[in-house]
């Protein structure tokens, strides 16, 4: 039996039925009108979804993109780089790969340096490789005829760098049943800082996982410790041991080292100024632009003010601290959340740029167009090309950093006189002598070349060597000190201006690159005056892109966040500019209170030198404490009150009010630390001791408690140094 159904358009409804329906559907009272209004609003709300509310994040797809595919090599050329490292080694005929995991650029620089030197000293084809450029599982396909070196940095709470994250997840989750690495022969070197609780954790965990999967370590793990500034020397010492193993264990034959460039840097008069990169940050840098970081944009400095300006008689210098508000209004694609970081891209001082151009004999050709191309297809060009020598030294290379001993020895081959060559060889071959030399004077590249050869220019020193050996300019990150709830389109940062005296020459100052750059901009905006130490910068930026008080900057997401519940208690510990994110936290809690929301109890431990000198945001914090009506308690620690008053640090005050700390932790408080890593380590130890005494715990119970609260994200740190 079949049955056909008429289409809706052919249905015929009797007129009397329509009349009855109209009577029923006509509103007859207030309740009916209210119901219709509610239904209409609900319908309008539903239909406007995606237009007026619940709009999709236009950048959400970035979380699922591999950063290296977004702007990978060969983009625009129709070619696609392989993500299989075994295939890459075969295609490029390389026998060794140096994988790097780098957050600040140091590990990347070491890897590039190592790969280049291995090729020159042993004639072995070596590839320096960003871990995020390759599928982690392809590591298992590397044959035992190849050699792998890992150079891995640890930052924060034992975290891997952003470009190591995918490999980190794979190597930790892989099982012997799924993966075998029996063919993998490797060496490993880690970069860390013993001031941090999890010193060199990344390289240790990776090595443990590699060994568990059957890989063969050819030498004990090397570790650099930046706590005493020994990273460069630690790397040089490990490298010497590595090369010894290359000779004895792998049978690599060492030969006389002669410089062979991996980059071709040449002047090209056919180029016009409009063709050049004049210093704009390279938004194609795939190792930086990830789901965690926004693109670099020129941001207006809306306001800038000095938080303090005091004379430090002990160090014979002026100390400055700035509060800077950056306007995001003209860049709607940029947004931040309370607790995130803002990165500033600096320019180098005019006198250092001029010094280096002069000593190289390039002052007259400073703006001549130069192209930078890779000689080896496996080598990536990190500097935007074409450009000029002036832009190279002002914006793209770290020319103000001290020169490491390796580079001192490498520079000797280009010396313009026998005396200059002898000077550099004697200096670079003696570790103790070079350390003492650095203590007497701060030598960047330009100053070193000037000292070695005061009269003859270094005209034989190729630009390719400098591009290969000097680290690319890196942004400096600052914790955002504003709340995104209160100030969504203006992000503020708190900047301590760094000018440190040379230990054995206190009349000489080592100027922090970015903080002094920002100080110069701030002075210009206020009174058209100059930098207090006379430093000058090209403040209008490349192609005048920064005219009117702008800086190149980008935003980076952070895990340093307030709890979802406003009623959750907070314990905050800060020293110096570590107060920045807590200024935002407290202001946001005050905003919640003003709209009638319940907020939890807060205690802020803050340390500085003297209440009359560097107590940051003192009046503002005092007003917030009053407005919060007992919800906020501020506990201060001053280290230089003078007289008979003992030095007090934040960890001392945490110890003194330990009972309050225990009570709030028992009530579910979140614990935050922001400041130097050494301070954070001391606070961690004090809190552990306080909990141990209060609870009668054994040491293992304290450690288990620590692990538990950190696992639940109840203990968070934003630390540096």
Q: What is the DSSP string of 483-534?
A: -TTT-TTEEEEEEEEPEEEETTEEEEEEE-HHHHHHHHHHHHHHHS---TT-
Q: Cα separation of 43 and 51, whole Å?
A: 14
Q: Which of 234, 250, 266 is the last residue of a domain?
A: 250
Q: What are phi and psi of 263, to 5 degrees?
A: -125, 145
Number of structural domains found in the chain: 2
| Residue 316 maps to a domain | no
The predicted structure's pLDDT at residue 288: 52
Least Cα distance to 586 among 564, 608, 562 occurs for: 562
Residue 256 inside a domain? The answer is: no
* CA 417/CA 696 separation, integer angstroms: 71
Which residues form the domain of 671? 570-719
392 domain residue, yes or no: no
Question: pTM of this prediction?
Answer: 0.84
Which of 220, 250, 280 is a domain's end point?
A: 250
**What pLDDT does residue 232 have?**
92
Does residue 599 lie within any of the structural domains?
A: yes
Classified as helix, coil or strand, 415 is coil
- CB-based contacts of 265: which residues, under 8 Å, 6+ apart? 370, 371, 372, 462, 463, 464, 467
Domain final position from 250, 282, 299:
250
Distance CA 385, CA 371 (A): 6
Average pLDDT of each block of 10 consecutive residues along the chain (721 residues)? 46 54 56 58 50 41 36 42 94 96 91 94 95 96 97 88 93 93 97 89 97 97 90 95 96 89 93 93 64 92 94 71 98 97 97 97 96 88 94 97 93 97 95 88 92 96 95 94 98 93 76 95 85 93 96 96 97 98 98 97 97 96 97 96 88 97 98 95 96 97 95 94 77
**Which pLDDT score, from 0 to 100, does residue 85 have?**
97
- Tell which residue, 344, 707, 271, 341, has the closest CA to residue 537: 344
CATH number of the domain enclosing 126: 3.40.50.360
Q: Give the span between the Cα atoms of 367 and 391, in whole angstroms.
A: 8
Q: Is residue 470 situated within a structural domain?
A: no
Question: Is residue 484 situated within a structural domain?
Answer: no
Asked, for residue 9, whether it belongs to a domain, the answer is no
User: Token pair 């009108």 is at which residue?
Assistant: 33
The pLDDT value given to residue 258: 85
- Chain position carrying tokens 């010193």: 199
Give domain status of residue 332, yes or no.
Answer: no
Identify the pLDDT of residue 439. 81
pLDDT score, position 14: 57
Backbone angles phi, psi at 517, to 5 degrees: -60, -45
Instruction: Give the other-Cβ count within 10 Å of 397's Cβ.
Output: 22
* CATH code of the domain in which 652 resides: 3.40.50.80
Q: Read off φ and ψ for residue 6, nearest 5 degrees.
A: -65, 145
């Amino acid at each position: 039996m079949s049955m056909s159904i008429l289409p809706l358009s052919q249905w015929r409804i009797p007129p009397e039925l329509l009349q009855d329906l109209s009577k029923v559907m006509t509103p007859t009272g207030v309740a009916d009108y209210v119901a219709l209004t509610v239904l209409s609003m609900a319908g309008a709300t539903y239909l406007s979804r995606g237009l007026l509310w619940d709009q999709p994040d236009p950048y959400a797809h970035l979380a699922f993109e591999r950063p290296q595919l977004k702007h990978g090599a060969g983009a625009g050329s129709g070619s696609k780089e392989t993500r299989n490292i075994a295939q890459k080694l075969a295609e490029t005929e390389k026998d060794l790969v140096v994988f790097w995991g780098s957050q600040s650029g140091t590990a990347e620089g070491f890897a590039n340096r190592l790969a280049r030197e291995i090729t020159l000293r042993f004639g072995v084809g070596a590839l320096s490789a960003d871990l995020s450029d390759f599928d982690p599982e392809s590591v298992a396909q590397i044959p035992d005829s190849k050699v792998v070196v890992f150079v891995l940095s640890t930052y924060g709470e034992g975290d891997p760098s952003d470009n190591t994250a995918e490999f980190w997840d794979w190597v930790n989750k892989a099982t012997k049943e799924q993966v075998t690495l029996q063919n993998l022969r490797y060496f490993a070197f880690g970069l860390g800082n013993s001031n941090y609780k999890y010193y060199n954790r990344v390289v240790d965990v990776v090595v443990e996982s590699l060994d568990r999967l059957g890989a063969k370590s050819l030498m004990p793990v090397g570790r650099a410790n930046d706590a005493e500034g020994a990273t460069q020397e630690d790397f040089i010492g490990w490298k010497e041991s590595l090369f010894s193993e290359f000779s004895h264990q792998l049978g690599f034959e060492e030969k006389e080292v002669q410089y062979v460039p991996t980059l071709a840097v040449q002047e090209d008069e056919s180029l016009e100024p409009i063709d050049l990169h004049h210093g704009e940050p390279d938004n194609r840098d795939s190792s930086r632009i990830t789901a965690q970081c926004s693109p670099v944009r020129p941001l207006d400095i809306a306001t800038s003010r000095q938080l303090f300006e005091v004379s430090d008689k002990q160090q014979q210098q002026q100390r400055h601290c700035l509060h800077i508000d950056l306007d995001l209004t003209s860049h709607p694609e940029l947004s931040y959340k309370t607790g995130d970081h803002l990165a500033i891209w600096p320019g180098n001082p005019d006198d250092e740029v001029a010094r280096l151009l002069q000593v190289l004999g390039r002052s007259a050709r400073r703006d001549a167009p130069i192209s930078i191309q890779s000689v080896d297809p496996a080598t990536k060009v990190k500097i935007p090309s074409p450009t000029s020598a002036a832009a190279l030294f002002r914006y793209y290379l770290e020319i103000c950093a001290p020169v490491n001993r390796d580079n001192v020895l490498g520079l000797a081959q280009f010396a313009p006189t026998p005396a200059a060559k002898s000077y550099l060889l004697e200096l670079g071959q003696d570790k103790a002598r070079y350390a003492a030399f650095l203590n007497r004077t701060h030598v960047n590249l330009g100053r070193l070349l000037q000292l070695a050869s005061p009269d003859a220019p270094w005209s034989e020193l190729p630009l390719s060597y400098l591009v290969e050996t000097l680290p690319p300019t890196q942004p400096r990150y600052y914790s955002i000190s504003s709340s995104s709830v209160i100030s969504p389109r203006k992000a503020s940062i708190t900047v301590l201006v760094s000018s440190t005296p040379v230990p054995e020459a206190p009349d000489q100052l080592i100027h922090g690159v970015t903080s002094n750059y920002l100080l110069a901009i701030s002075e210009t905006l206020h009174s058209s005056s100059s930098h207090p130490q006379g430093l000058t910068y090209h403040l209008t930026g490349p192609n005048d892109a920064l005219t009117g008080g702008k800086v190149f900057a980008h935003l980076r997401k952070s895990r340093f966040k307030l709890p979802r519940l406003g009623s959750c208690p907070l314990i905050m510990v800060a020293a110096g500019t570590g107060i920045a994110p807590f200024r935002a936290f407290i202001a946001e809690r005050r905003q919640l209170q003003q709209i009638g929301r319940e907020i939890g109890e807060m205690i802020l431990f803050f340390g500085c030198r003297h209440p009359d000198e560097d107590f940051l945001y003192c009046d503002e914090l005092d007003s917030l404490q009053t407005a919060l009506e007992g919800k906020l308690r501020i506990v201060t620690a001053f280290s230089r009150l003078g007289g008979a008053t003992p030095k007090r640090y934040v960890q001392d005050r945490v110890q003194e009010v330990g009972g309050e700390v225990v009570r709030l932790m028992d009530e579910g408080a979140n614990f935050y630390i922001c400041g130097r890593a050494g301070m954070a380590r001391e606070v961690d130890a004090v809190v552990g001791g306080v909990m141990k005494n209060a609870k009668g715990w054994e040491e293992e119970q304290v450690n288990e408690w620590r692990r538990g609260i950190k696992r639940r994200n109840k203990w968070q740190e934003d630390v540096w140094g």
